[in-house]
Amino acid sequence: MKKNIPFSSLDRQELLNTFGKETYDLVVIGGGITGGGIALDAASRGLKVALFEKGDFASGTSSKSTKLIHGGLRYLKQFDFWLVKEVGSERAIVHKLAPHLVLPEKMLLPLIENGSYGKWLTSIGLKVYDILAQVSGDDKRKMLEKKEALALEPLLPKKILKGAGYYAEYRTDDARLTIENIKTSLQFGARALNYAEVTDFLYQRDMVAGVKVKDMVSGKQFSVSSRYVINAAGPWVDELRSTNNSNKGKRLHLTKGVHLVFPHKKLPVKQSVYFDVPDGRMIFAIPRGKVTYVGTTDTNYNQDKDKVTTDLADAIYLISAVNNMFPKIELGMEDIESSWAGLRPLIHEEGKSASELSRKDEIFTSDTGLISIAGGKLTGYRKMAERVVNRIARKMEEEHQATLKECSTDQIPLCGNAFKNYKQVKKYIKEVEGRILPDGFTKYDAWFLVTNYGKQTEAILETYARLKDKDPAVRMIKAELHFGIRFEMVQTPMDFFIRRTGRLYFDIDSLRTYLEPVLEEFRTLTKVDKAQINAWKEQLQAEVETHSHFSLERV
């Protein structure tokens, strides 16, 4: 397989021209982690695949999770052993596929007086968790005494702390995990397009036989013929089922999850903590580079799915939770550096609250053959894809006498992964440090490049060496932009600052600092007019305001 297959927004028209001329085995609707995983699974089994996403890749739920590849410890309390076993086992697999992107993260679970978890039950629960998730070696759970827990995290509340559970999870960037799955699917011949909305279905003898697509950039419409169509549109699954006149039986139940980002110096936790909230829920506090982020909330949502925001009430709830668990910390609204809010497309269950709903995925097949998948967790994306593509495989065998290969995505490294293990990742970070620190960069900059791009960092550093800007930081961010436009279908500056680099969330000051040079380079590379650049500038400035400033007017 080739590395770094061109996936350029500059070639968009050429890609568009191919869709109307070819018939596909499978069209995937939705460019989130589920759709990306399906595209890779199906294409690697030999199917001819086209994927369409109405916004940017990962612009829905798949850039707004807690960004953990975790086993769902809390689902033990709901006796959901199957879910814990599956996603727990998947953690190690996804880490192996991209050890630069799925990073080991020890988790501390404080045990406090009158808390949700008692010492004995926590010990048993974590032991069961280890067994179900097939955890081995140093990653096995440990039970810590109060003194040991405080040594690991001095910010914990001494007066009410009784001890802690200590166990292993993994942290990721969900949007980057999504784009790398999609890019890897291209190596097996898949085609993918963002800003391409599926507006209707084609039918042949009353069965779905393709889709009608609107190119959101040019406004033009085109049709794509396909043997099968999978609806993996996340929160928009039911809208597409309605378009197909098949929105019957089970339906989605959307819940909103919010995260707040603080400068690490304001919330200087030494490591990730999973802690109690007085109302009985649990919250994560996760250090990441220059910041610490906390979340998540879990509330019912029935408003505009395209405009999900963090409300003042969400911010108050999370800040109160942090201040309650870490008595030395006194966070206020003014300390919020950034935030994000996203939707979970869960399956509705009568009588259950938002936090009680199962995170299991479900597959629906309509009378016209449209296959829809919803629910599930980020960690379980690969198994979700396997299950739904297995259905296609059975249909291919029954209807076309074609036998597909078995799923092999557990053996397919994602783009940028030339590492055998995490030790090699750390070694490469050190190597990149040695190359960029003399130009005034920091260790954080080297860590950021490698944990975002893996060995694809080499392509960025090659462009960096060619650019002529005097300021090394400007050269580097422009080199990243070149890579994003050429290899990651960056169509707008929002794609770059939000989904490809996470800067809006985790380094919002760099967005403010480098907005002008990035827009200038974007215009040079894409030849868009000045009016469009100004419109994007206003949009990005509005994004910064929306994600970082909170006031009573926003309730």
Q: In this structure, is residue 180 part of a structural domain? A: yes
3-state secondary structure of 284: strand
Residues 39, 125: one domain?
A: no
pLDDT in tens, 478-517: 999 999 999 999 999 999 999 999 999 999 999 999 999 9
pTM score above 0.85: yes
Has residue 532 got a pLDDT over 80?
yes
d(CA 460, CA 32): 25
| Strand intervals (E) in 381-493 | none
d(CA 409, CA 382): 7
Residue after which a domain boundary falls, among 317, 336, 356:
356
DSSP 410: G
Residues 407, 508: one domain?
A: no
Average pLDDT, the chain: 91
* Contact between residue 299 and residue 343 where contact means Cβ atoms under 8 Å apart: no
Residues 50, 123: one domain?
A: no
Instruction: From 187, 191, 182, 175, select the one nearest 5 (Cα to Cα).
Output: 187
Q: In this structure, is residue 69 part of a structural domain? A: no
- Domain range for 311 is 105-171+253-356
Strands 272-276 and 282-288: antiparallel
3-state secondary structure of 142: strand
Q: In this structure, is residue 95 part of a structural domain? A: no
User: How far from the centroid of its chain's Cα atoms is residue 454's Cα?
Assistant: 17
The number of CA neighbours under 13 Å toward the Cβ of 19 is 26
d(CA 210, CA 413): 30
| Strand intervals (E) in 6-127 | 23-29, 49-52, 68-69, 103-112
Residues 190, 317: one domain?
A: no
The count of structural domains within the chain is 3
Range of lowest pLDDT (87-101, 114-128, 383-397): 114-128
Q: In this structure, is residue 211 part of a structural domain? A: yes
From residue 217, alpha-carbon distances to 197, 207, 297, 417, 532 in Å are: 10, 30, 34, 32, 12
Residues 432, 507: one domain?
A: yes
Residues 125, 156: one domain?
A: yes
Q: In this structure, is residue 77 part of a structural domain? A: no
CB atoms within 10 A of CB 321: 24
Q: What percent of the chain has pLDDT over 70?
A: 94
Predicted confidence at residue 2, as pLDDT, reads: 54
Residues 223, 293: one domain?
A: no
Has residue 77 got a pLDDT over 50?
yes
Q: What is the CATH number of the domain that holds 261?
A: 3.30.9.10
Predicted confidence at residue 1, as pLDDT, reads: 47
pLDDT in tens, 459-475: 999 999 999 999 999 99
Predicted confidence at residue 448, as pLDDT, reads: 97
- The residue length of the chain stands at 555
Range of lowest pLDDT (29-33, 368-372, 399-403): 399-403
